[in-house]
Amino acid sequence: MATSIRSELQSSESYQELSDRLRFLRQNVSSVVPKIPGLPYLYISPFYLLFSVFLLFPTLYTIYLSVFSYEGPAGSEYIVSIQAWIFELTIPKISNLEFVGLAHYESLIFSDSVFHLSLFNTGFIFLIQVPLMVILALAVAIVLDSKFIRAKGLWRTLIALPVATGMVAYSTVFLLLFEGDVGMINQVLMSVGLDAVPWLTDRWMARITLVIAITWRWMGYNMIILLAGLQTIPQQLYEAAEIDGATMWQKFRFVTVPQLRPVLLFVIVSSTIGTFKLFAEPFVITGGGPANATLTVVQYIYRQAFVQLNLGYASAVTVCLVVIVSAISIVQVRRGGAAQ
């Protein structure tokens, strides 16, 4: 009798203690504001210092240049003139600027058909390549994350290696694979009696060749990020789903996808931005051809800035590109975040 009262008392005491602690915890959890005012700014200031000097300033300068016209240097006032490999680039002395207001933007939006074509090409690659690559990367990441796969590190390393290939190597390898009748792929096709494919000379095939090349190079990179994300998903969630009798598809749909959402969003947004910034691949593999069918926006910027020395016009194209891609990214982030 006495013991039972005592135990009841004890448990009520501990209950009191527990509820106090919980209340204390709850108060603290609701206030994420730190005890030191200005602390978050301390955390972000080193980043923003370097950011302001090396990214913000060049960005503002680009916006500034976009309302000027630069008619080329008087005489030969070049600061830099470089010729290396397929690159011929010149940075002139910035002088002789003439204010033109929004004239560059006007001609970009209403009359520059090469710019419009470059937007179409980039958009096409974006719509085909990003879904293809993300699905493939996710599939490989999930397979590599399963318990029974051995030598995971080796697989992972091999799949991600193409990212490390630089532009020179990349172009050499892909030209040797795809170019004309001498390319290895066409040689193999012809040796088994099939017709050679015009990989680089047909408009649509050239675009598809680019999609193949970009997927080859970037799939493993995205797979690594997705795999890192998969590994932070608590194993208990899968165990709980298994106890509830979930099928593999249900586990994927209701555990993996929601848990992976932030990382998946990251991969999709950065791949989207990547395709809109595409430069190396078309520059070295197709040269933007045939008939500008694979000319990307950034390649167009490069051409305008370093070859034709229309610095102001190139800056206006840059601003347009940034506006378009920002809009797409914001939509992606909003939709990705809202669905949580």
Partner 1 sequence: MMDEPQRETALKFGSYAFLLAVVTLIVVPLYWMIVAATIPQSELFSSSIPFLPGTQFLTNFEALQNRLNFVRTIWNSTLIAVVYTLLSMLLCSMAGFAFAKYEFKYKEPLFYFVLATLVLPIQALVVPLFLLVSTLDLLNTYLAVILPWAANPLGIFLMRQNMQSLPDALLESARMDGATELQIFYKIALPTMIPSLAALAVILFINQWRLFLYPLVVLQEEAMFTIPIALSQLVGAQRVAFEQIMVGTTLAIVPIALLFIFLQRYFIKGILAGSVKQ
> Footprint of partner 1 on residues 57-76 (CB under 8 A)?
57-59, 61-62, 65
Number of chain positions touching partner 1 (CB under 8 A) = 112
Q: Which is nearer to partner 1, 29 or 192 (CB)?
A: 29
Helix (H) / strand (E) element for 307: namely none
Nearest approach, Cβ of 158 to partner 1 (angstroms)?
5
Question: Considering only residues 68, 125, 162, 282, which one is a binding residue for partner 1 as defined by CB under 8 A?
Answer: 162
- x/- contact string, 275-304, with partner 1 (CB under 8 A)? -xx-xx-----------------x--xx--
- x/- contact string, 5-44, with partner 1 (CB under 8 A)? -------------------xx--xx--xxxxx--xxx-xx
Q: Assess contact for 134 and 268: CB atoms under 8 A.
A: yes
Q: Is 155 in the site for partner 1 (CB under 8 A)?
A: yes
Question: Considering only residues 96, 107, 329, 332, which one is a binding residue for partner 1 as defined by CB under 8 A?
Answer: 329
3-state class percentages of the chain: helix first, strand second, coil last, to nearest 5 = 70, 5, 25
- Beta-bridged to residue 99, according to DSSP, are 68
Q: Is 86 in the site for partner 1 (CB under 8 A)?
A: yes
> Footprint of partner 1 on residues 96-135 (CB under 8 A)?
none
Q: Which is nearer to partner 1, 163 or 203 (CB)?
A: 163
Q: Is 1 in the site for partner 1 (CB under 8 A)?
A: no
Distance separating alpha carbons of residues 223 and 231, to the nearest angstrom: 12
Q: Which is nearer to partner 1, 11 or 25 (CB)?
A: 25
Distance separating alpha carbons of residues 92 and 75, to the nearest angstrom: 10
Distance separating alpha carbons of residues 213 and 170, to the nearest angstrom: 9
Segment contacting partner 1 (CB under 8 A): 100-108, 120-128, 199-207, 269-277?
Answer: 269-277
Q: How many helices (H) and strands (E) does the chain have?
A: 15, 4
Q: Is 91 in the site for partner 1 (CB under 8 A)?
A: yes
Distance separating alpha carbons of residues 136 and 140, to the nearest angstrom: 6
Residue 37 carries which side chain, given as an amino acid letter? P
Phi, psi of 232 (to 5 degrees): -90, 0
Q: Which is nearer to partner 1, 61 or 120 (CB)?
A: 61
Distance separating alpha carbons of residues 302 and 283, to the nearest angstrom: 10
